[in-house]
Amino acid sequence: MLGSLFLLWTSFWFLFVLFKIQRPKNFPPGPWPIPIFGNLLQLNLVNLLYDLRKLSERYGKVYSIYLGRKPAVVLNGLQAMKEALVTQSVEFAARPKDHMVNHLTEGKGVALTDGPMWKEHRRFALTTLRNFGLGKRSMEERILGEISYIASHLEKNAGKATDPQTLFHKAGFNVICTVLFGTRFKHEDEFLQLNIRHITEIAKIINGPWAMIYDTLPLVRNLPLPFQKAFQNMRMIRKSLADQVSQHKESRVPGEPRDLIDCYLGEMEKRGDAGSSFGEYQLVCYLLDLLFAGTDTSSNTLLTAFLYLMTHPDVQERCQKEIDEVLGEKEQASFEDRHRMPYTQAMIHEVQRVADTAPLSLFHATTKDTQLMGYDIPKGTIIIPNLSSVLSDESQWKFPHEFNPSNFLNDQGEFVKPEAFMPFSAGPRVCPGEGLARMELFLIVVTLLRRFKFIWPEDAGVPDYTPVFGLTQTPKPYRLGVRLRGSGDLGP
């Protein structure tokens, strides 16, 4: 018996020594990792944010955790974020390899690539978005046209409570589709409904518990575990996008681009095959990145906006008063009107802050050995930007833990944007769709607040503001009480 116990203990000790994780010299402090698992067993995988905050309180604004044997540095607070992503943007601009998100995207697209491919495709996206109206009246018209479908749905449900869970996703999806494919889809269209469902399911899996297990334990990656659903969804989205590309190849007229696909196919012809990062499969993955970014983040932010507007009627009424005064008899809102709506602007930015839609952004990696706030960070180290810590940084916000538009107003009631406002990340890796998202949020919120009043349904219980964690956070499902402004009270 004693011999068996001794053998078991010896075997355990041998495995511990064999797989022991060595922390690099002068590396940021952090919880001690367990061989093989790293810190996986010490974190709440359902929602990492609480544990990351507690670790910051113990180890400081820059600390380390281990994903299996891979070291990762977590950035917390404005100073650490700026020093890494802005001041040392080149040193912190890479993306980690061999993670679930890398395998999902197969190393293509734009969001998870780096080097020349990333630079070329990011530049192409920004140029094409501008050419198709970003920041111009033509893009406003696309958005306002899509808002009419939201308003029609709400009008039909006036005096009742409706489920808004996919309403804003359909709008966001269609706005980006007008740029990518040159068309919008009916809200009951199968292409639209299936792709939105696949996108939202993938967003919940990435950064969730099964993705963490996938990243930490490579041996389980081929097992029939829940993370396989994300790969199935990706394959289905890619197939639907490949069909769009095929249709465009048959119908396009060279030199007369209708949308981003036509522009990209034209660029492929111009560059030729030799050594170009532009290719047909890359185009499919590129479209997927843009479709994902253009659908999920803005939609979840809008869901957060109307949750808070319903439950903060004083804020809603003050916005409506300002909107009425500024727009007057004007038929439609314009993005330029934001400059005359400081309180509404402040409310929308405050919604983005509390929505915390992309709390851990996309992970970065170091391009070479470097230093950060006195610590040595080796090349290839995973960098986790905890944007959530910046958006609730007590040293940066007047009301860090409550919904209050005053966070974006000065003493004169003028709109101000604090440096700590970075829901789209910071530096050269900032989301390329930020401009489109800002325009969508403003026009949708202002147009709907002008026409409708939103009320928390009497039978809905106590509002729960706790978001569902994932690559993008979303509010828990709720019902949206709607009535036309100036009409009677909301019915049962």
Domain total in the chain: 1
Instruction: Tell me the whole-structure pTM to 2 decimals.
Output: 0.91
Task: Provide the pLDDT for residue 370.
Answer: 97
Q: Is residue 158 part of a domain?
A: yes
Q: How far apart are CA 324 and CA 446, in angstroms?
A: 10
pLDDT on residue 206: 86
Confidence of residue 5 (pLDDT cuts 50, 70, 90): very low
Has residue 348 been placed in a domain? yes
Give the pLDDT band (50/70/90) at residue 488. Answer: very low
Cα 438 to Cα 241: distance, rounded to the nearest angstrom: 26
Q: Is the pLDDT at 253 greater than 60, yes or no?
A: yes
Residue pair 420/393 in contact (Cβ under 8 Å)? The answer is yes
Give residue 275's pLDDT band: very low, low, confident or very high (50, 70, 90): low
Residue 121 in domain? yes
Top pLDDT among 17 and 284 is at 284
Report residue 20's pLDDT band, with 50, 70 and 90 as the boundaries. low
> 456 pLDDT band (50/70/90 cuts)?
very high
- Domain residue limits at 11: 2-484
Assess if residue 492 is contained within a domain: no
| Segment 463-476 mean pLDDT | 90
Phi, psi of 403 (to 5 degrees): -85, 110
489 domain-assigned: no
Contacts of 52 (CB under 8 A, 6+ apart): 74, 76, 386, 388, 389
Burial class (CB in 10 A: 0-12, 13-18, 19+), 153: middle
Residue 287 banded pLDDT, cuts 50, 70, 90:
very high
Average pLDDT on 312-334 reads 96
**pLDDT reading at 412 higher than 50:** yes
| Residues 344 and 415 sit within 8 Å (Cβ to Cβ) | no
Q: Judging by DSSP bridges, how do beta strands 382-385 and 70-75 pair with one another?
A: parallel
Tens digit of each residue's pLDDT (9 = 90 or more) over 192-243 = 999 999 999 998 898 788 998 999 999 999 999 999 999 999 999 999 999 9
In whole angstroms, give the CA distance from residue 125 to residue 135. 14
Closest to 196 (Cα-Cα) out of 178, 180, 172:
172
For residue 490, tell me if it sits in a domain.
no
Q: Domain for residue 491, yes or no?
A: no
- DSSP labels, 385-402: E-HHHHHT-TTT-SSTTS
Q: Which two tokens mark 182?
A: 């040159």
User: pLDDT value at position 126?
Assistant: 86
Average pLDDT for 12-23: 53
> Rounded to 5 degrees, what are φ and ψ at 292?
-60, -50
In angstroms, the CA 103 to CA 107 distance is: 7
* % of the chain beyond a pLDDT of 90: 71
Q: Is residue 107 part of a domain?
A: yes
Residue 3 has pLDDT above 50, yes or no: no
Low-confidence winner among 133-137, 255-259, 295-299, 344-348 (lowest mean pLDDT): 133-137
Determine phi and psi for 324, rounding to 5 degrees.
Answer: -60, -45
Which CATH number goes with the domain that contains 57? 1.10.630.10
Average pLDDT, the chain: 90
- Per-residue pLDDT at 476 exceeds 50: yes
pLDDT > 70 fraction of the chain, expressed in percent and rounded: 93
Q: How far apart are the C-alpha atoms of 134 and 132, rounded to whole Å?
A: 6
Q: Out of 129-133, 181-185, 287-291, 428-432, pick the least confident.
A: 129-133
**Average pLDDT in the 131-148 region?**
84
Give pLDDT, residue 9.
45
Residue type, 487: S
pLDDT of residue 21 exceeding 90, the answer is no
